[in-house]
Amino acid sequence: MTDAFENRRARDAAREVGRRDLIKLALATGAAYGLSHWKVLEVLAGSGGVALADDAACQGTNRSVHIVAGSGGFAWFQLLWPHVDVARARNDGFAWHAIGEETEVAGTDKPLIVGPETPFRTMPGRRQISAFMAGNNETHTRTPSSSSSVAMGADVFGVCAAMQTASPTLVPVIAIDDVPFRGAPGAPRPARVGSADDIVSLFDSAASRAGGALSQTRDADLYASTYAAMLALRRASSRPTMRAGLATGVSSARLLGRNMADALRVTDADLARYGVSATSRGVNTQIARSLIITAKAFARGLTSQVILPAFRDDPHGAFNDMGSLRRTVREAGASLDAFMADLMELEDPTCGGTRIGENTVISIHGDTPKNPLDRGGWPDGTPGDTNWTYVLGAGHLKTGWFGGIRRGGGVVGYDPTTGNDSTMSSAVTANAAAAAITYAVARGDMRRVSDFYRGTSIRGLIYSPTT
């Protein structure tokens, strides 16, 4: 029975690889003939079935949201996803607030413990958070970099942006305030805005406002149609090398005639759904506003990536007021849950039969997570000068804690090649963890990751396309 099962699994794996090769060949051949992507899908549906065409329809990249906490504020995320052994110890001197309320998540690849305020609790194990020991303690910087470095001169944000050009959007990358962005070869420059609400102004078309040239719906529609028609008459419009830019141009022409600002603005109802109110702390409200606008921008295909700051409040005395602490953590979790709920309401036009939430990667980085073993003053230093990062990998990454802090102060690392515990430091495994994030954005295409990452194998951290 075992041999038969293994033979069948090998056969299925080979068939899956063959399907991917066929899809790649079909898309490449279509590009050579100047066929549009939808035309290739139509041919695949007719010759190989709808399932094959659906697979081909998901050949782009995932959207991504990157949360960067600074000035000591990264520590708050420990209270959403604590180190396993720290939470299990139930020590009231440790920096874990929900003693006796912790729950171990079922179905993850590595152990993962959550508290009552943790978001994504109802997701299946394969869709849960991956927590990687990664980077160094970078106490009190607003722009941490060690946990997001993929290779020399290239960070997660830039590499993801370069990959995401395969699925063009009007404003490919939006960076709020002074969040880091080192870039990568082929990455577009981010559109920098001062706050979440300033994102709205990026899509506020003067032409579409009252009195503008395109304020009448018929004029706006005529403009978009005329622009598309002119492109269709251009010989260059059939060239694969021109297609991404032209697709963005068509989208721009369509959106120029529509004032998107009103559609993106945050409402009181949005804030209530995201768990914040007029009495919430400013740090919570800003996270909620950033996520609300990001969800609306994703829904309209306006951007592929948003990088946002979070919790720059250095909470040394957080455990002195447990009521305030619990509220801060509860509202952060509620905002992340509402964000995912909004995305799960929407069909993904870039990947047939799925929801936008299924194809969105979220990573969380920071300067210092503070010492999980000492709630008194919550010191900035971490055992072994360690740091870590959290990732919601859209089903492409193995889940749970890779490495971690033990209750006695010891630090456990992991081997990216196997995923097993090891003595590797978080500084050593940082590039591999960052590469795993880019793998999730690339929808499991290791070839695309290899264009930027030359480090040790990360097969112990990822699901291959055949698993």
Give mean pLDDT, residues 54-59: 59
Token code pair at residue 20: 């991917």
Q: What pLDDT score was predicted for residue 358?
A: 97
pLDDT tens profile 11-21: 444 444 445 45
Q: Tell which wins on pLDDT, 171 or 438.
A: 438
User: Distance between CA atoms of 205 and 208, rounded to whole angstroms?
Assistant: 5
- Cβ pair 144, 138 in contact under 8 A: yes
Q: What pLDDT score was predicted for residue 212?
A: 44
Q: What pLDDT score was predicted for residue 8?
A: 46
Task: Using alpha carbons, select from 203, 201, 170 the residue that is nearest to residue 188.
Answer: 170
pLDDT tens profile 408-435: 999 999 999 999 999 999 999 999 999 9
Helical axes 156-164 vs 426-441, angle rounded to 10°: 20
Q: What pLDDT score was predicted for residue 23?
A: 52
For residue 29, CA distances in Å to 36, 86, 231, 297 come to: 11, 54, 22, 33
Binned at pLDDT 50, 70 and 90, residue 25 comes out as low
Q: What's the chain's average pLDDT?
A: 84
Give mean pLDDT, residues 429-448: 97
User: Distance between CA atoms of 43 and 81, rounded to whole angstroms?
Assistant: 46
pTM for this entry: 0.81
pLDDT tens profile 255-276: 444 567 788 999 999 999 999 9
pLDDT tens profile 122-145: 999 999 999 999 999 999 999 999
Q: What pLDDT score was predicted for residue 235?
A: 42
Percentage of the chain exceeding pLDDT 90: 69
Q: What pLDDT score was predicted for residue 79?
A: 98
Q: What pLDDT score was predicted for residue 224?
A: 45
pLDDT tens profile 212-222: 443 454 444 44
Task: Using alpha carbons, select from 314, 426, 325 the residue that is nearest to residue 380.
Answer: 314
Binned at pLDDT 50, 70 and 90, residue 202 comes out as confident
User: Distance between CA atoms of 84 and 88, rounded to whole angstroms?
Assistant: 6
78, pLDDT greater than 70? yes
| Residue 266 CB coordination number (10 Å) | 19
Binned at pLDDT 50, 70 and 90, residue 385 comes out as very high
Q: What pLDDT score was predicted for residue 13?
A: 46
Q: What pLDDT score was predicted for residue 56?
A: 54
User: Distance between CA atoms of 202 and 418, rounded to whole angstroms?
Assistant: 44
For CA atoms 46, 49, 51, 52, the dihedral sign is negative
For residue 444, CA distances in Å to 243, 289, 393, 432, 464 come to: 24, 30, 10, 15, 7
Binned at pLDDT 50, 70 and 90, residue 84 comes out as very high
Task: Using alpha carbons, select from 366, 393, 328 the residue that is nearest to residue 65.
Answer: 393
Q: What pLDDT score was predicted for residue 201?
A: 85
